[in-house]
């Protein structure tokens, strides 16, 4: 079974500073990776996903992530954060179980933006 580790449970950052949220996954032949964001008291929303091809994936709200197969990582980055980026961020790996998609989530990283 696949697993995902998000190395930081909380990341405080000042507004307009860059940020990196770290994610490592267990190795597999094929890997499909996702980053979801959960704003306070809301459901999850897809930021970006890696399926194949270019290792640099661009998502919504200025976020991007780099797939690194040798380091089994899929870190999320943003060059300049805003107060509105305050949220919980989840990395997930997708696997097929009994012909169905199963998302396995990391523990989440709480990103707090300070003015």
Q: Which residues bind other proteins (CB under 8 A)?
A: 30, 32, 34, 36, 38, 41-46, 49, 51, 88, 90, 94-103, 105, 107-108, 110
CB of 82 to other proteins, least distance (A): 22
CB of 16 to other proteins, least distance (A): 26
Q: How far is the C-alpha of 87 from the C-alpha of 63, rounded, in Å?
A: 13
CB of 50 to other proteins, least distance (A): 10
- Give the list of residues 6+ apart from residue 76 with CB closer than 8 angstroms, or none: 20, 21, 23, 35, 47, 48, 63, 64, 65, 89, 91
């Amino acid at each position: 079974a696949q697993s995902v580790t998000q190395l930081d449970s909380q990341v405080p950052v000042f507004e307009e500073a860059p940020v990196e949220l770290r994610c490592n996954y267990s190795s597999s032949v094929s890997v499909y990776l996702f980053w979801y964001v959960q704003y306070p008291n809301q459901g999850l929303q897809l930021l970006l996903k890696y399926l194949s091809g270019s290792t640099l994936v661009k998502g919504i709200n200025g976020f991007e992530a780099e797939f690194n197969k040798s380091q089994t990582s899929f870190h999320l980055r943003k060059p300049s954060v805003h107060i509105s980026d305050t949220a919980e961020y989840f990395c997930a790996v997708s696997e097929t179980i009994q012909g169905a998609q199963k998302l396995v989530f990391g523990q989440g990283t709480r990103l707090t933006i300070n003015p």
